[in-house]
Amino acid sequence: MTILLNGIGVSQGIAIGNAYIYVRATTKATEYNVPARYHDKEIARLRMAVNEASKQLHEIKTKIARETPEDILAFIDSHLLMLEDPAFDEGAALIIKEFSCNAEWALQIQCDRLVQIFDEMEDPYLKTRKDDVVHVVQRIQHCLSEKPETTIEPVKLKGRIVISDDLTPADTLMMQHEKVAAFVTEFGGPMSHTAILARNLGIPAIVGVHNARQLIHPTEKLIIDGHYGTVIGDPDARSLKHYRNLRQQSHERKAQLNRLINKPAITQDGVAIVIQGNIDRPEDIRNLKHFDDTGVGLYRTEMLFLENSKLVDEEIQFKTYKRTLFRLKGKPLTIRTLDLGADKEIQDAMGQGPMAHNPAMGLRAIRRCLKEPEYFIPQLCAIMRVAAYGDVKMMIPMMTSIDELEQISELIEHAKELLRQRKVRFNEQIEIGAMIEVPAAALSSDVFADRLDFLSIGTNDLIQYTLAIDRIDDEVNYLYNPLHPAVLKLIRITIEAGKKAKIPVSMCGEMASEPRYTRLLLGMGLEYFSIQANAILEIKHIINNSNLSQLQNQAEEIMRCHDLHEIEALVDKLNN
């Protein structure tokens, strides 16, 4: 009998194949007393398990390294870094001594503590990093129990659709290596590593399909629609024919878009549009180059700090940024200064104190940097040093006032003087820009434009601050709408301020990566897009098939509207 299950489509594509139910052996930590005289022995057992877990990941990495891109392997590297983090073995060792308990129980306590920290974070990507903690702890627990994890049988995976409760990055990579057709998991979200890996690897994937392992039979024929998050079990002949046609159309569409790789983005009436990419780490350049030989309009530097769980000194930052620049091979690089705050924290506590009641409104981004210049100045120095080697710009997040800009300018001049005294090579004339992501900044964008070299609209925060809603709060995120008239007005104000001052204005938020809004943004005058790598070809295709002069008239009609439903209807008409 045909069944229909729904989840969250996190990686687009149609897959048709037989199910493979992947069941991981589970270990449940139980507590027992360990007398003080045996504490050292128990700690040694814990550390042996940590070393064994690290050995297993290295073995997995060796098996797939030859044909797996470096940026994909970075997911396993992040787990290896966690295994080296004292938070696991040293933290658990202290718990063994404090509570006279066994290693399994101490590790579980430490895991729960770390997960709670991530649960308190607001950033959706960082919140899902708790999955990494759980995955690493589970691997150590297996090593402690000396029970093997469920092994993957390659002969059964080729062309199969894997059904699991969840998948670790190592699982995902091994299954991709064996050419699975798709993934379906019972848990996870769009920012989980399984989701990110599936998108990067081009594998259709759906997460959050509750009870999938109970409702789907082993070897059952399945249809997976990664766009709509639909799973069809035991499909009839009509459904199979329909989805096979859709899969063929999808392949043809992909081939059509691939012809745009490394081609310019130019409207039908001859206006060149700049498309650049957003990245978090140097390894992301490989994925960016897979879609286009372009530059980076947003490099989120806080990931370097968060992944190391500590403050990173100037020299490490310099080498990391330089490696990123050199991988771009002459293309421009825009480096955003740290956007750390109460929701994105590191273990080297910068500014001790309780968690903010509303982190998004708290001490974050440039506010944090101005309060703690001892870690901001080394970053300024590192960025200006790298700018001596190529086209590098510096972008300041969360700007709200000219007073902040003056304070930043003073710190930049101070950093320059330090570099002069050290006789270190750097770029005296580095271009400085600001992210426009709060209404106050958008309304003051004409003043910022007169004093800066470029502006970049960060729509993620601009929308939530304008509409006073938390975009990751299930109770109110239905109100998050980029087409709200107030949001569109703030975007228009910023674009016009840039044109008047004759400086570039880009958009680096998620709105720029969404094809539905591309023609509207073009009509509003946006000429610089900084987007996710996997959106580049689709956005470029829309640009190349758009007439800018026509879009300007249609955008004006939309800007005159006050009714949200009418605006949405006009945007849909714009895209037909």
Task: Tell me the CA distances in angstroms from 281 to 72, 75, 377, one per residue in order.
Answer: 12, 12, 21
Contact 575, 305 (CB under 8 A): no
User: Would you say 524 and 555 are in contact if contact means Cβ atoms under 8 Å apart?
Assistant: yes
221-225 and 14-21 as β-strands: parallel, antiparallel, unpaired?
A: antiparallel
Run of H or E residues at 414: helix 402-422
430-448: burial string, b at 16+ Cβ within 10 Å, e else: bbbbbbbbbbebbebbeeb
Which residue is associated with the tokens 């569109």?
488
Residue the block writes with tokens 């718990």: 95
Distance between CA atoms of residues 571 and 566, nearest Å: 9
Half-sphere exposure of 430 (CA within 13 A, CB side): 31
Eight-class DSSP state of 322: H
354, exposed or middle or buried, with CB in 10 Å at 0-12, 13-18, 19+? Answer: exposed
508 is catalytic: yes
DSSP conformational letter for 101: B
Beta bridge partners of 435: 456
Query: Angle CA(20)–CA(203)–CA(533) in degrees, nearest 5?
Result: 160
> CA 424 to CA 435: how far, in whole Å?
28
Three-state DSSP at 22 gives coil
In angstroms, rounded to a whole number, what is the distance separating the alpha carbons of residues 136 and 92? 14
Q: Name the active-site residue from 142, 193, 369, 381.
A: 193
* Cβ atoms of 324 and 282 closer than 8 Å: yes
| Count of alpha carbons within 13 angstroms of residue 555, beta-carbon side | 21
The residue among 260, 132, 251, 264 whose CA lies nearest residue 202 is: 251
Query: b/e for 212-225, b at 16 or more Cβ within 10 A?
Result: bbeebbeebbbbbb
Given a contact cutoff of 8 angstroms between Cβ atoms, the answer to whether 193 and 75 are in contact is: yes
Distances (CA, A) of 183 to 76, 77, 133, 221: 18, 22, 21, 14
Catalytic residue at 381?
no
- The residues carrying an active-site annotation are 193, 508
